[in-house]
């Protein structure tokens, strides 16, 4: 039912954007068509071809120039080409990037655990069941709500006894693709991850033995586990597998960006396409957000660590103990990012535009106080971050692009 609705909504969005596109750019298409006709009529196909190529090169150069406007005709022409011929991403030495790509229909599954509808159904039921918590009142879905982009819409969640958590509840829709889970990467598989929220005193505060007892008492769970795993028995490993299988099934679909990458170049409007171009080039986002998931699976310090202050969070360092990791957080996937606000590990950004503005300024760069000078734990700014000095309309274009993901 919900899937149908989403599909319909997507269809409506697609139809609306197709109409807008047609209306706004009929003139532009018309100009393009007559240019093509002129080219066809020119004597000698070879000279027409090389004139076209020279034209395209001129177009590419024109796209490099920044400012309040972009040559929309050139933008369309260059991005109508196959992806290998798009402007190369502007990245810095040390960046681990890969080309943008449509999201696979399925998240990778661990060997021996192929996607399985019975396990997914069981996982979904467990995900929504508050009996998995110590109080019997908090389900995974409380903090990872399908209606809120699989996050909870708050800067930090309320958990057991309405205690505030320390970090923002991220979307779990892309977790099946992530090499590291949690903002600090402290778990590496979904199966391993499950125990953390279950037993975290600030989240579900459950005792696994008590949860298993409650599930075993329920005849319908006994049946469902037996059906999903081929033999009777309810244990923690199976519970984790079912929850993991459900989360791997949440791959976002029908995003406009995917349709664009798959060849429907009308799926993005001019401004969104401009945003994509900037994302690849002068905004340097692909230094860290690239590939199908729009993440490098790495950890970076964006200057949001509050070192030495009440809100201090040193992120990855808390897991590895390596001072070089101080203040670093996982690069999240940007798929569905418009639905997963508020943003960043601390949920302190209420708008995407605010995030983009801060990237434009090069992100905060807290300086050590006199007592902190020489402190090896003082987080170092990431060399892949720069002040961008983009124009206001360019920042709007990037924000519009983020909304297509």
Binding residues for ligand HEC, per CB under 6 A?
132, 138, 140, 142-144, 157, 159, 165, 167, 169-170, 172, 175, 178, 181-184, 190, 193-194, 197-198, 203-204, 243, 247, 283-285, 287-289, 300, 302, 304, 329, 331-332, 334, 337, 340, 343-345, 352, 355-356, 359, 382, 384-385, 398, 402
Cβ at position 7, least distance to ligand HEC in Å? 24
Q: Which is nearer to ligand HEC, 25 or 356 (CB)?
A: 356
Q: How far is CA 56 from CA 51, 74, 76, 86, 374, in A?
A: 9, 8, 11, 11, 52
Write the CB contacts of 248 (distance below 8 Å, at least 6 apart in sequence): 106, 107, 109, 115, 175, 176, 190
Q: Which is nearer to ligand HEC, 48 or 365 (CB)?
A: 365
Cβ at position 108, least distance to ligand HEC in Å? 14
* Other Cβ atoms closer than 10 A to 201: 12
Q: Which is nearer to ligand HEC, 25 or 352 (CB)?
A: 352
- Measured CA to CA, the distance from residue 156 to residue 159 in angstroms comes to 9
Write the CB contacts of 2 (distance below 8 Å, at least 6 apart in sequence): 146
Q: Which is nearer to ligand HEC, 25 or 384 (CB)?
A: 384
Structural tokens at position 122: 């069981």
Instruction: Please answer whether residues 100 and 87 qualify as being in contact, where contact means their C-beta atoms are separated by less than 8 angstroms.
Output: no
Q: Which is nearer to ligand HEC, 201 or 263 (CB)?
A: 201
Cβ at position 40, least distance to ligand HEC in Å? 40
Cβ at position 60, least distance to ligand HEC in Å? 21
Angle, CA 65 vertex, CA 61 and CA 68 arms, to 5°: 140
CA-closest candidate to residue 334, choices 380, 267, 263, 275: 275
Q: Which is nearer to ligand HEC, 77 or 194 (CB)?
A: 194
Q: How far is CA 137 from CA 71, 153, 162, in A?
A: 56, 19, 11
Q: Which is nearer to ligand HEC, 242 or 261 (CB)?
A: 242
Q: Which is nearer to ligand HEC, 224 or 340 (CB)?
A: 340
- Measured CA to CA, the distance from residue 376 to residue 371 in angstroms comes to 12
Q: Which is nearer to ligand HEC, 70 or 355 (CB)?
A: 355
**Phi first, then psi: what are they for 338, rounded to 5°?**
-65, -20
Cβ at position 82, least distance to ligand HEC in Å? 24
Q: Which is nearer to ligand HEC, 178 or 267 (CB)?
A: 178
Cβ at position 73, least distance to ligand HEC in Å? 25
Q: Which is nearer to ligand HEC, 329 or 378 (CB)?
A: 329
Cβ at position 196, least distance to ligand HEC in Å? 7
Cβ at position 185, least distance to ligand HEC in Å? 8
Write the CB contacts of 234 (distance below 8 Å, at least 6 apart in sequence): 212, 215, 216, 221, 222, 225
Instruction: Please answer whether residues 211 and 220 qualify as being in contact, where contact means their C-beta atoms are separated by less than 8 angstroms.
Output: no
Cβ at position 76, least distance to ligand HEC in Å? 22
Cβ at position 278, least distance to ligand HEC in Å? 8
Cβ at position 167, least distance to ligand HEC in Å? 4
* Other Cβ atoms closer than 10 A to 73: 16
């Amino acid at each position: 039912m919900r899937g149908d609705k989403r599909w319909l909504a997507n269809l409506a969005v697609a139809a609306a954007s197709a109409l807008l596109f047609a209306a706004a750019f009929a003139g532009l298409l018309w100009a393009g068509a007559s240019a093509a006709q002129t080219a066809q009529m020119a004597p000698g196909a070879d000279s027409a071809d090389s004139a076209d190529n020279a034209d395209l090169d001129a177009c590419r150069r024109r796209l490099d120039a920044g400012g309040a406007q972009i040559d929309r005709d050139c933008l369309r022409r260059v991005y109508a080409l196959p992806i290998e011929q798009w402007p190369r991403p502007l990245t810095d030495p040390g960046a681990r990037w890969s080309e943008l790509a449509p999201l696979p229909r399925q998240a990778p599954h661990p060997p021996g655990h192929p996607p399985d509808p019975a396990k997914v159904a069981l996982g979904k039921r467990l995900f929504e069941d508050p009996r998995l918590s110590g109080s019997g009142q908090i389900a995974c879905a409380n903090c990872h709500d399908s209606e809120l982009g699989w996050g909870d819409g708050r800067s930090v969640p309320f958990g057991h006894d309405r205690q505030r958590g320390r970090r923002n509840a991220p979307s779990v829709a892309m977790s099946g693709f992530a090499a590291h889970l949690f903002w600090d990467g402290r778990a590496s598989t979904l199966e391993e991850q499950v125990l953390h929220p279950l037993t975290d005193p600030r989240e579900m505060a459950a005792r696994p033995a008590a949860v298993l007892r409650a599930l075993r008492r329920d005849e319908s769970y006994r049946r469902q586990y037996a059906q999903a795993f081929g033999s009777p028995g309810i244990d923690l490993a199976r519970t984790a597998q079912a929850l993991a299988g459900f989360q791997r099934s949440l791959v976002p679909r029908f995003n406009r960006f995917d349709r664009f990458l798959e060849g429907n170049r009308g799926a993005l409007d001019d401004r969104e396409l401009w945003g994509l171009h900037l994302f690849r080039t002068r905004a340097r986002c692909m230094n860290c957000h690239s590939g199908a998931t729009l993440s490098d699976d790495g950890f970076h310090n964006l200057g949001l660590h509050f070192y030495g202050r009440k809100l201090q969070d040193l992120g990855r360092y808390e897991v590895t103990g390596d001072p070089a990791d101080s203040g670093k957080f996982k690069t999240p996937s940007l798929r569905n990012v418009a639905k997963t606000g508020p943003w960043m590990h601390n949920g302190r950004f209420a708008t995407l535009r605010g995030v983009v503005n801060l990237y434009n300024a090069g992100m905060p760069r807290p300086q050590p106080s006199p007592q902190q000078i020489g402190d090896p734990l003082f987080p170092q700014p990431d060399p892949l971050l720069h002040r961008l000095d983009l124009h206001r309309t360019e920042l709007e274009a990037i924000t519009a692009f983020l909304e297509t993901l």
